[in-house]
Amino acid sequence: MSLIKKIDFKKINLNQIISLVILVAVFLIALKIFQSQGKKNAQIRLIQNEQKKKNEILLRIADQKKKNELYRETFRPRDKREIINRITNLAKAAGVRINSLKPQEEHSRSRKAISKIYNEMFFNLAIEVDSYHQLGKFISSLESDPMMFMVGSLWIGRDLVSSSDWVSPFKRLRVDLVIMEIFFK
């Protein structure tokens, strides 16, 4: 081999070696960049998952707040006239005759603080009914009403109907109730 051919052969090998070294260096640099991007992507996914969990919690809090506002509106303090009208309408629907209905003033002006969360308002109610079923229907509609009524006490007696010579069997039930209306402060 001639000297020129040996030099050309060495140049080719030297160029190939330099190209190979540059290629390996570029590959290592690309690998480092890819690894750092992978770590950043993993961190971003972790942050996204945390944000999703936080958003779900915030949505649950917002739903709970809406429910609380609905409860506060449902169990808000009401005017006595509004409560009396509601009780009267429930009595009419059950076929109950009201003899008297009035707020009870003996419980510290009829609004007694029973808790830090809610209060009660008391009403005395005297009614007449034809049967226990009618009374049960009235009490059931009263206690299932959205205004949140509860029967605090109950007294039941019978009226005797008498004519000239005889006393008939018991006719109507007389009932005295203390009704509590419960509301949030």
If the chain, 185 residues long, is cut into consecutive pieces of 10 residues, what is the mean pLDDT of each piece? 59 75 89 86 91 94 90 76 91 92 65 63 91 92 88 85 57 88 77
**d(Cα 151, Cα 72) in Å, to the nearest integer?**
22
Question: In the prediction, which pLDDT does 120 show?
Answer: 81
Strands (E), 48-113: 97-103, 111-113
| Cβ-based neighbour number of residue 150 at 10 Å | 13
Q: Are residues 85 and 175 in the same domain?
A: yes
**Residue 104 DSSP class:** -
Question: In the prediction, which pLDDT does 47 show?
Answer: 93
Name the residue among 148, 144, 100, 103 with its Cα closest to residue 125.
100
**d(Cα 10, Cα 1) in Å, to the nearest integer?**
13
Question: In the prediction, which pLDDT does 109 show?
Answer: 42
**Which residue range(s) make up the domain with 68?**
1-74
Q: Are residues 57 and 111 in the same domain?
A: no
Q: Are residues 93 and 176 in the same domain?
A: yes
Q: Of 74, 89, 107, which residue sits at a domain end? A: 74
Name the residue among 84, 127, 116 with its Cα closest to residue 102.
84
How many degrees, rounded to 5, is the angle at CA 81 between CA 159 and CA 140? 50
Question: In the prediction, which pLDDT does 90 show?
Answer: 93
Q: Are residues 91 and 157 in the same domain?
A: yes
Which two structure tokens, joined as six digits, stand for 135?
A: 């009374």
Question: In the prediction, which pLDDT does 12 show?
Answer: 63
**d(Cα 76, Cα 147) in Å, to the nearest integer?**
9
Cβ-based burial of 132 (10 A; exposed 0-12, middle 13-18, buried ≥19): exposed
CA atoms within a 13 Å half-sphere pointing along the CA-CB vector of 8: 5
- The CA R_g of the chain, rounded to the nearest whole Å, is 43
Q: 0.75 cut: is pTM over it?
A: no
- Whats the size of the chain, residue-wise? 185
68-103 per-residue burial string, b: 16 or more CB within 10 A, e: under 16: eeeeeeebeeeeeeebbebbeebbeebebeeeebeb
Number of domains in the chain: 2
Query: What's the CATH code of the domain at 147?
Result: 3.30.70.60
Strands (E), 57-136: 97-103, 111-113, 118-129
Question: In the prediction, which pLDDT does 60 show?
Answer: 95
* CA 103 from centre of chain: 31
Q: Of 32, 48, 74, which residue sits at a domain end? A: 74
